[in-house]
Structure 1
């Protein structure tokens, strides 16, 4: 099964397990009902922003929609490409580790994730502006930043592309 079909089927499973209709998930996530229907049917390639909106509306980590894939999947958004490297489940939280690239000159503003979610980014190369929209940090190679991701936050590569490792911690 290809990525769009597998992820679409997983989103449908999660929605049905939560007992909500396609229309209700579309409303909660801000994703159009037609777009959601195409995604669940495997006819639309999921973007990073779309999957985050859907999984946040379902109250689950992004990695929940990606588990069971036979190979690491690259998800792309307006400015960020992300590959899930590991999902770690502890009694109190799920931590997802991603290898990300922020494209040169690009900026992505992300909506708030579920309450209590935090993000931690370590820059491998390039200089990134990341963190909450109100208080972003400018960080370079070998440095890191952490922020509360249950508020709007951003990723930006003001000049050259940024390579980084991102850990997203979702409380249970």
Structure 2
């Protein structure tokens, strides 16, 4: 996707947000890169707005910063990120009365997708509703195969995995709830 596509996160603004969050938490560039498991040079390029991070990289950065993915996307509906055969489009972000953050995404999986997601932090839950195709979901407490209209809620405080079945594309709605 080109940089001027309105669905692509503004790379300069994303870099500014990352740098600001890192500074608020008193983390050096090296410390955040190590905590996220990415190269210091890559993080430097992302912060400078010179690199378009993948979904996996954004999740890796969100975890040590203790923020939802939507915070890195500026809570901008329509922002899209892709990785591992998956395109996630942010539809909405809400904050509840008790300070919890609710993120809503549309997920589009290509047939070969195999999305392995890192842990999102204590108390974070994912709620997935399949709208087309079949989706295999592996999480800490087990696994399930979901078809159109099927849903599943689970703790995403541990690594988890999404994979479409039958050699077909799959789509779903994902709601992520993060405690305050």
* Secondary structure of residue in 2 paired with 1:115: coil
Indicate the RMSD between aligned Cα atoms, in angstroms.
1.6
Shift of 1:20: 1.0
Show the 5 A alignment for 1:63-102: 63-67=70-74, 69=76, 72-90=78-96, 91-102=98-109
1:31-70 map, 5 Å: 31-67=38-74, 69=76
Which residue number corresponds to residue 127 of structure 1?
134
CA distance in 2, matches of 1:163, 1:141: 9
Which of these residues, 21, 25, 40, is aligned with residue 32 of structure 2?
Answer: 25
In 2: Cα distance, 1:68 partner to 1:109 partner: 23
* Residues matched between the structures, number: 171
Runs of 4+ in 1 over 3 A off after TM superposition: none
Unaligned runs of 5+ in 2: 5-9
| CA drift at 1:121 | 0.4
Deviations 1:11-69 (A, max 9, x none): 11111111211111011111110110000001100110000010111011011111264
Separation in 1 of the partners of 2:110 and 2:126? Answer: 19
Query: 1:109 maps to which residue?
Result: 116
Name 1:12's counterpart in structure 2.
Answer: 19
- Unpaired runs of 5+ in structure 1? none
Q: Is the CA contact 1:131–1:146 (under 8 Å) kept in the aligned structure 2?
A: no
Q: TM-score, normalised by structure 2?
A: 0.89
Q: 1:148 aligns with which of 143, 147, 155?
A: 155
1:79 CA drift (Å)? 2.5
